[in-house]
């Protein structure tokens, strides 16, 4: 099925959002519109403070748009739901549960009427999919940061949601493990046929993962770039290739131009 034939999974329509306190208000997003197709992997790319994590929080339902609306499968998003699973930057595992216990929690939340035996088997299979069968009885404190994020991915998959939301999940992980996790998420999203929205400020990460890259500047979308490179992708296969270099250059130009413009405005205007 071509991209034009795929149905719209997420529809963000003229969305604005303001943070308000007793003394002031700050418009974090202004008139954002974006359609995301079923099975598409979209990266929100931008510098810190541009609103990409705020937009993800609206998709998750943790915050409500000041103006406009977000729909998933044509239904209005009015709060969190099991149709959207989230993996955060900071490890969000329950410390009193083992790796398997954390995944079982996700399975119990997905609303499916599985037997106890089925739940245990599913938990094992999800941990196997992220390469952690050997660590199923370990607690989060006994796991490295990379291992904890693997468990978080397994738990998100266990919710059996069509949509996965990632908020810079690998930002605090060393480069080697980060690459392994990027390739894991890329592979699993294709295998499990998920619609993914992934927040990042890393251009290479966005190219490795995304079908489309939404480049954001403060409060709005600057440009949207298609990544016409077949999946699955591996970093070593991409670097040095003409298509990769052209795409990388295009994104750097777009990304850093708006950063320089903002610095100029802050310093000189």
Domain edges within the chain: 8-83+161-268
Query: Per the confidence metrics, is the pTM higher than 0.85?
Result: yes
Could you read off the pLDDT of 142-188 as tens digits, one per residue? 998 889 988 999 999 999 999 999 999 887 778 888 888 888 888 88
Question: Residues 47-63: what's their mean pLDDT?
Answer: 93
Could you read off the pLDDT of 192-244 as tens digits, one per residue? 899 999 999 999 999 999 999 999 999 999 999 999 988 878 888 888 888 88
For residues 154 and 131, give the distance between their C-alpha atoms in angstroms, rounded to a whole number.
10
Check residue 264 and give its pLDDT. 38
Q: Determine which of 38-42, 139-143, 149-153 has the lowest per-residue pLDDT on average.
A: 149-153
In the CATH hierarchy, which fold is given to the domain comprising 8-83+161-268? Rossmann fold (3.40.50)
For residues 64 and 10, give the distance between their C-alpha atoms in angstroms, rounded to a whole number.
16
Q: Determine which of 2-6, 41-45, 66-70, 246-250 has the lowest per-residue pLDDT on average.
A: 2-6
Tokens 């777009």, residue located: 254
How far is CA 66 from each of CA 16, 51, 86, 187, 248, rounded to the nearest angstrom?
A: 6, 14, 22, 36, 34
Res. 46: pLDDT tops 50: yes
Res. 262: pLDDT tops 80: no
Res. 17: pLDDT tops 70: yes
In a 13 Å sphere around the CA of 132, the CA atoms on its Cβ side amount to 30
Question: Residues 76-92: what's their mean pLDDT?
Answer: 87
Task: For the beta carbon of residue 143, count every other beta carbon within 10 angstroms.
Answer: 19
């Amino acid at each position: 099925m071509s991209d034009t034939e795929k149905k719209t999974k997420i529809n963000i329509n003229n969305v604005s959002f303001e943070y308000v306190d007793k003394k002031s208000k700050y418009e974090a997003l202004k008139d954002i519109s974006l359609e995301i197709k079923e099975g598409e992997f979209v990266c929100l790319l931008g510098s810190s403070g541009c609103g990409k994590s705020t937009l993800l929080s609206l998709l998750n339902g943790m915050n409500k748009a000041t103006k406009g609306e977000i729909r998933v499968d044509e239904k209005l998003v009015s709060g969190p739901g099991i149709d959207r699973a989230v993996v955060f930057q900071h490890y969000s595992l329950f410390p009193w549960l083992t790796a398997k216990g954390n995944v079982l929690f996700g399975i119990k939340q997905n609303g499916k009427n599985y037997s106890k035996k089925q739940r245990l088997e599913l938990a094992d299979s999800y941990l196997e999919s992220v390469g952690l069968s050997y660590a199923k009885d370990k607690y989060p404190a006994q796991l490295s940061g990379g291992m904890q994020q693997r468990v978080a991915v397994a738990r998100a998959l266990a919710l059996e949601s069509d949509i996965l939301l990632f908020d810079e999940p690998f930002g605090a992980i060393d480069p080697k493990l980060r690459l392994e996790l990027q390739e894991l998420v890329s592979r699993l999203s294709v295998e499990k046929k998920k619609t993914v929205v992934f927040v990042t400020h890393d251009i290479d990460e966005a190219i490795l993962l995304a079908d489309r890259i939404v480049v954001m500047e403060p409060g709005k979308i600057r440009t949207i770039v298609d990544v016409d490179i077949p999946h699955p992708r591996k970093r070593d296969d991409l670097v040095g290739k003409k298509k990769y270099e052209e795409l990388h250059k295009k994104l750097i130009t777009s990304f850093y131009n708006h950063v320089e413009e903002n610095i100029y405005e802050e310093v000189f205007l």
